[in-house]
Chain A
Amino acid sequence: DQQVKQNSPSLSVQEGRISILNCDYTNSMFDYFLWYKKYPAEGPTFLISISSIKDKNEDGRFTVFLNKSAKHLSLHIVPSQPGDSAVYFCAASARVAETSGSRLTFGEGTQLTVNP
């Protein structure tokens, strides 16, 4: 039961262009969403998050959009840079109970390659 799904295993874009990474979820209890970036042999690094009370959050070159009715979120990177090449994971959490903490459910990841 894949509750968070990233349907594109890979994405290739030219430097300076926009990168759009997509993520779909099925659990309507999810109310907090995050994007992580992962380089080889390193742990995932937090990039940006969004609460379900918002539909957009922006941080520099990175913007996350949330469409709750479609259970869809996306990460936009503009302009893309070669250093952005990494695996990007979408993650979600639900405040089900006090014992659940910030437990995250991750998607499978999308390998982004930004070509110079």
Chain B
Amino acid sequence: GAGVSQTPSNKVTEKGKYVELRCDPISGHTALYWYRQSLGQGPEFLIYFQGTGAADDSGLPNDRFFAVRPEGSVSTLKIQRTERGDSAVYLCASSLGPPGQGRSPLHFGNGTRLTVT
């Protein structure tokens, strides 16, 4: 597809369970970002990948959150021992990179709506 693809579109899980959220970036985009958007707020940065490595994970709220991008394309955001406060829309975005080659806008997927009951 032409855009950023995120699966699943909706995920309902029980408190304490483990979840994985998947992101397929635009082909050829080396930079990948995860954001989290709570109701009534703008997206908040979680983590940035340049290629396979996490160049900036300073936005991850705690060690229950982890993300990987083993082959420099698809990324998975993993949340352990989910809490009700983790409920939000998790957005993935990609852009042409790396930094130093000029700014390019982020292209977002439609997000995964996570609900922790």
Do the two chains belong together in a single complex? yes
Q: Which residues of A contact B (CB under 8 A)?
A: 4, 32, 34, 36, 41-46, 49, 51, 89, 91, 93, 95, 98-109
Partner of A44, one of B41, B50, B91, B104: B91
Interface contact A46-B43, CB-CB below 8 Å? no
Task: Report chain A residues within 8 Å CB of B97.
Answer: 101-102
Quick check: is B14 within 8 A (CB to CB) of the other chain?
no
Contact A49–B91 (Cβ < 8 Å)? no
Contact B42 A89 (CB under 8 A): yes
Are A102 and B104 in contact, with the CB atoms below 8 A?
yes
**7 A-B pairs closest in CB distance:** A106-B42, A43-B108, A46-B105, A99-B55, A101-B48, A43-B110, A44-B108
Q: Could you tell me if B45 and A103 are in contact, using CB atoms closer than 8 angstroms?
A: yes
Q: Is the CB of A101 within 8 A of B43?
A: no
- A-B interface pairs (CB < 8 A), number: 76
User: Complex Cα distance A108/B98, Å?
Assistant: 28
Contact in complex: A34, B109 (CB < 8 Å) = no
Are A101 and B42 interface neighbours, CB within 8 A? no
Query: Contacting B31 at CB < 8 Å: which of A51, A102, A109?
Result: A102
B residues in contact with A4, CB < 8 Å: 42
Main secondary structure of the interface of B (DSSP, over half): loop
Could you mark each residue 74-113 of chain B with 1 if its beta carbon is under 8 Å from any beta carbon of chain A, else 0?
A: 0000000000000000010101011110011111111100
Q: In the complex, are the beta carbons of A106 and B103 less than 8 A apart? A: no
Since A46-B107, A106-B42, A106-B44 are in contact, a sample of 12 more A-B pairs with Cβ atoms closer than 8 Å, ordered by chain A residue number, is A32-B103, A43-B91, A43-B109, A46-B106, A49-B105, A98-B98, A99-B48, A99-B55, A101-B50, A102-B104, A104-B106, A108-B42
